Amino acid sequence: MNRSKLILVIIVYIALALGLVFLVVKIKNFKRSGTMIYGVSFNTEYAQYLGFDPRVVFSKILQDWNFKHIRLSAQWNLIERTKGDYDFRDLDWMMDQSAKKNAKVVLAIGHKTPRWPECHDPSWVDSASAALYKPELENFMRAVIKKYKNHPALEVWQVENEPFLRFGDCMPMSDEDLKQEVGLVKSLDPNHPVIVTDSGELSLWRHTAKAADLFGTTMYRVVWNQTLGYFSYDWIMPAFVYKAKLWLNGRDINAAYITELQAEPWIPDKKLADASVDEQFKSMNLERLKKNIRFADKTGMPRAYLWGAEWWYWLESKGEREIPDYIKNLEKE
């Protein structure tokens, strides 16, 4: 068989396999049991980078935009700046404010939590030695779990953030590492579920889909890289692909969340605040945001946490109100 025929046969088999998975997913009526719930992620350091008081932005999220489902991080480098000295004041304030507004929190813990550089190690920890590093991380996680396991705002623990995705300045993790961390959380707090997350576009979820009580996926639709420039996943990642990956991994769709739904720009080779609004709108604008939200709904997963609250506040500060006003009026559940 010559090369062109071989390629054709491979394409046909891939198409048949995808068609079979599509039919199975359709036949099994693989969809959520209720309406979509929309939450939001928030990071204090990113709000500060954009020039804002994090507490002002967080108050906007709760009081003006009226989100009732929040994803926060217990960021190691902010809480344990000095070994053994824990400063929970900022996280305490956000958890307490969430409780006052009857908002429920997914709290991410571990060394790899949302926002670049992903792994937020304190400067004093020896990240070159796993033997020294892991006990310190465990001590930190124990302190956070004991601190918040009885907090009225806590709904779910997130253990690590896309632990096996090679992204950020991070010490690699193994399946056993993740298993031990999930086990630690469950042993200290058996009353709250645990979620483990993965990349929606760059992973088959084999190591993460059933690693915990819940599974979370990212969902980015317009990205940028040096080879292709801006490109969209609209055609190569239709909604049924997410359903298919859940089905192939034996994961109930009602126990799977979209933990990062793209609602901010993907900027080429520069920081967001240094890019013009026109450049930002190439990968995220009101039309694209609405399209992403419609797409998330089609996947059938019951919950989606929007990624970009700090940017919405930045837009509003520049007089760009279309997206913030849309977010304010979005039906959250």
- Per-residue model confidence as pLDDT tens digits over 264-287: 999 987 788 889 999 999 999 999
Percent of the chain with pLDDT over 90: 78
pLDDT at position 226, please? Answer: 86
In the block, which residue shows the tokens 């060394």?
111
Contact indicator for 88, 79 with CB cutoff of 8 Å: yes
| Both structure tokens of 266 | 């993907």
pLDDT at position 8, please? Answer: 55
* CA nearest neighbour of 197 among 257, 148, 271, 264: 257
**β-strands 303-307, 37-41 pairing:** parallel
pLDDT at position 40, please? Answer: 98
* CA nearest neighbour of 178 among 147, 219, 141, 227: 141
State the pLDDT confidence band at 169, using cuts at 50, 70 and 90. confident
| Both structure tokens of 88 | 């929970």
Express each pLDDT in 22-66 by its tens digit. 656 554 556 777 889 999 999 999 999 999 999 999 999 999 999
Res. 145: pLDDT tops 60 = yes
Res. 307: pLDDT tops 70 = yes
pLDDT at position 6, please? Answer: 46
**β-strands 229-232, 222-225 pairing:** antiparallel
Q: If you average pLDDT over residues 311-331, what whole number do you get?
A: 97
φ, ψ for residue 94, nearest 5 deg: -70, -40
pLDDT at position 4, please? Answer: 56
Res. 9: pLDDT tops 50 = no
| Both structure tokens of 313 | 């506040």
Q: Which residues have a Cβ under 8 Å from the Cβ of 238 and sit 6 or more positions away?
A: none
pLDDT at position 224, please? Answer: 93
DSSP string of 182-205? HHHHHHH-TTS-EEEEE-SSS---
Q: Which residues have a Cβ under 8 Å from the Cβ of 237 and sit 6 or more positions away?
A: 200, 201, 221
